[in-house]
Structure 1
Amino acid sequence: MMRLKKFKALFVAALTVGAAHNVQAQNNASAVLSKLSAKYDSYQTIDANFTLTNYTNANKKASSSSGTIFIDKKANKFHINLPGTYTLISDGKALYTIHHDVKEIEVTDVTEVKNDISPINIFTFYKKGFNNKLGKDFTAAGVALRTVELKPQTTNNNYAAINLTISKNTNTIKDVAIKSKGGGSQTYTISRLTPNVTKDATIFTVNKTNYKGYEFIDLR
């Protein structure tokens, strides 16, 4: 009987320690994300370079392209360019999606921007809607990095899981790896980020004279 009581006590203790460890791991991940949010929330503007890499179901590289992002957070304006593919421009009210391959420009209300992860929200998407836990720490090219594993709390999206890689020293995003429900994946890698720079306001406007031969499709 004493042995049975002792076993039960040890079993309960092990469960308690395990549960506490899981809560601590989640809290640590939340703390990392809080620091990340505080970093980006302190910026008035963000000027960055990124590379988007797509992978097949077999985790083979399918395509890769590089682009630029400029965001004026206070004005809710942005200019995102993926040369040869598309350009996204918002003046705070309208969103212009410029498809260079087919020479079409779609105009929508900026409020209709979807919640899918994209260059538009790459620095903020993780703030809500995800369960999180700490992943592995590692070093690449002399930079100390940590990972946070994110799982969506709902099923009304196209992705199954996300790995966020963060610089330990600067509390900035290095890359975002998104695994789709279909088995493929894509990774956004931030190669350069400069905060609080000023650019000419004309980058947030679309002048039709600069897009001769393009069809404008107003979906508002």
Structure 2
Amino acid sequence: MNKLITNSRILLLFLTATALHGYPQTDAAAGAILTQVSKTYQGYKTLQADFTITVQQPQQAGKYTESGTIYMQAASGKYRITTGGQELISDGKTQWAVLRDEEEVQVTTADHSSASISPANIFTFYQKGYKYVTAPSERAGNIQLHVVELAPENTHTPYFKIKLRINKATHLIHDVTIFDKSGARYSYTIKSTKGNVPIAANQFVFNPSDFPGMEIVDLR
């Protein structure tokens, strides 16, 4: 599995959580749910969340599972995503992808274009280009969940559906499943969300001394 691609999909979870108020409405009830989710996340200047990724590949019996943490300062486009295999770090201008298994750090320019998927445009990415509908409510243990399904209007996206489950009490994302056209399913479960928490500035800065022996590849 290309873990760099996997972590780019992690961002979809948090992008889905915000800026949903601008969708072309195809379901008024779904629009109201997404608007409330958007307001909840937009109230956070900083965000820290622990998550678990589960990937089911077609024609494979086993599942790939990994845990991680995301730190985000959305207004400035800064973020840090940490999993066991890698880290994505951005100071809003540059992104460093630390690939531990390859002992390599890939340096790229942070993409702020409206067509990109990154925390830099977290409040605007989903304002157009998606249709959404409600699905029957579900439960996870004792948690009551809204269910909203989103479909991209652009048929060239690698995925054809996003299933979003939202805690009815807190208006926070419980989990999201991305249905890939290849048949793979990427599920992300949020184990905890902390808003407006103090995050040290150095979380969003790449420090080579923290990753000794790694080759730095500048792709800018």
Aligned-pair RMSD on alpha carbons?
Answer: 2.4
Give me the TM-score of the superposition, normalised by structure 2. 0.81
Q: How big is the shift at 1:56?
A: 2.0
2:58 paired with 1:76: no
Q: Residue 15 of structure 1 corresponds to which residue in structure 2?
A: none
- Listed as ranges, the matches of 1:198-217 within 5 Å are 198-217=198-217
* Equivalent pairs, count: 195
Output the CA distance in 1 between the equivalents of 2:172 and 2:89.
24
SS at match of 1:28: helix
Q: Which position in structure 2 is the counterpart of 1:21?
A: none
Structure 1 residues 120 and 73 mapped into 2: Cα distance closer, same or farther (>3 Å)? closer
What's the counterpart of residue 145 of structure 2? 145
Instruction: Find the counterpart in structure 2 of residue 18 from structure 1.
Output: none
- CA drift of 1:121 comes to 8.0
Map 1:1-220 → 2, pairs under 5 A: 26-57=27-58, 60-83=61-84, 85-111=85-111, 115=116, 126-220=126-220
1:135 is paired with a residue whose SS is: strand
Runs of 4+ in 1 over 6 A off after TM superposition: 118-124
1:135-176 deviation digits (Å, cap 9, x = unpaired) = 110222111101001111101211011100001111111111
Instruction: Give the letter aligned to residue 218 of structure 2.
Output: D
What's the offset of the Cα at 1:37?
A: 0.7
C-alpha change, 1:64 and 1:120, in structure 2 (3 Å) is farther
In the TM superposition, residue 127 of structure 1 has moved relative to its aligned partner by: 4.3
The separation in 1 between residues aligned to 2:98 and 2:212, in whole angstroms, is 12
SS of residue matched to 1:111: coil
Q: Secondary structure at the match of 1:37?
A: helix
Deviation per residue, 1:80-110 (Å, 9 max, x gap) = 1011x11000011100000001111011111
Pair 1:142–1:123, CA change in 2 (3 A) = farther
> C-alpha separation between the residues in 2 aligned to 1:54 and 1:123?
27
**Per the alignment, do residues 81 and 120 of structure 1 end up closer, same or farther by CA in structure 2, a change over 3 Å counting?**
farther
Question: Which residue does the alignment assign to 1:7?
Answer: none
Letter in 2 for 1:73: A
Contact preservation (8 Å) 2:74, 2:120: no
- 121-130 or 91-100: bigger deviation: 121-130
Q: State the structure with more CA Rg.
A: 1
Q: Is the 8 A contact 1:177 1:187 kept in 2?
A: yes
Structure 2 residues without counterparts, runs of 5 or longer? 1-24
| TM-score, with structure 1 as normaliser | 0.81
With 209-218 and 93-102 compared, the bigger mean Cα shift is at: 209-218
